[in-house]
Amino acid sequence: MAVIDVHSHVTPPSFREAVLDGGTWHTLTNEIGELEIPEFSISAKDRIAKMDVAGIDMHVLTVNNDFYRYELDPGLTQEIARACNEEIGQMMADHPDRFTGLATVPMQDIERAVADAETKARESAELLNKTVLTIPHQAGEDGRLFGSVTSQDIADAIKEARGITIDRRDIRLEEPIKTVGTRMVEVEVTPGVIATVKTMVTEDK
């Protein structure tokens, strides 16, 4: 069973670099950001090494509430949120088997928050539309699989390939795949946002 740390803070490295010498980062200063805890802004490689020592398979990454800034102008809060989300998103994309994350949005402006969430969903759908999954599976000479490829298998392949977490129930697969071949599988990224993922099931030789 995988060991998942569901509360792992990240201090954006770009923030740390900008403010350590007295500078600012989207108007924020070195008075915030948990700078007293260097482990929160170490490289992904060093974080993974520490995870391995502790026996942790995956971190759920999030910034601390210093970066929410709901008291600021919504446009500035949105700018900070996007910068934080991009850094966490890059860690997830680079190491999808070790990191997932939680995004932040400008909650003091619901329309902006919803727009940001929808934009991110559309970006994820566009990425999945360009994705080709290859899922090897044991099969007989006639191309029939020993077993089947399920919605969960496709969700796992998406996570490994793109770092995007999709619930298996949002993968529109009428029945498990039981033969080798290529299918175009619809994935509901969020309600109303659908992607089509080219999925190749190959014989695992």
pLDDT at 48: 96
pLDDT at 171: 97
d(CA 155, CA 166): 6
pLDDT at 38: 86
Q: Which of 103, 81, 82 is nearest to 92 (CA)?
A: 103
pLDDT at 162: 85
The fourth-level CATH superfamily of domain 128-203 is: Ribosomal protein L9, C-terminal domain (3.10.430.100)
Return the ∠ at Cα 11 (arms to 9 and 15), rounded to 5°.
165
- The pLDDT profile of the chain, 205 residues, written as one tens digit per residue, is 789 999 899 999 899 999 988 999 999 999 998 898 988 989 999 999 999 999 999 999 999 999 999 999 999 999 999 999 999 988 988 888 899 899 899 999 999 999 888 988 998 999 999 999 999 999 998 999 999 999 999 999 998 888 888 999 999 999 999 999 999 999 999 999 999 999 999 998 7
β-bridge partners, 193: 190
pLDDT at 9: 95
Which residues 6+ apart lie within 8 Å of 9 measured at CB?
34, 37, 40, 61, 62, 63, 64
For 106-123, the pLDDT digits (tens) are: 999 999 999 888 988 998
Where are the domains positioned within the chain?
4-108, 128-203
